[in-house]
Amino acid sequence: MRYMSFKEINIAVNQQWIIFSDEADIAGYAMDAIQTFNKLGVITGTGTDAEGRVIVNPKGNATRAEAAAMLHRFVELLVK
């Protein structure tokens, strides 16, 4: 989000608030970024719970493959 702000990149996303299954574990300062990047398809989460809510696992560690996938999706988004 800071990079996008620095480069003045504005991508419209809907204002609908997504409720994540582990939302209580997401730090307040990170919530807008998680919401935005989930809506843009950059952060897809680690699955869904029984109610269909996305699990983002904010206190977990991303594997190298997961980090690479997020960076790839972000770059692809910027190229459009």
Instruction: List the chain domain ranges.
Output: 2-79
Looking at the chain, the whole-number percentage of residues with pLDDT higher than 70 is 100
Contact between 37 and 43 (Cβ < 8 Å): yes
Give the pLDDT confidence score for residue 6 in this predicted structure: 95
Q: What is the mean pLDDT of residues 34-39?
A: 95
Residue 2 has pLDDT above 90, yes or no: yes
Cα–Cα distance measured from residue 31 to residue 23, given in angstroms and rounded to the nearest whole number = 8
SS3 11: coil
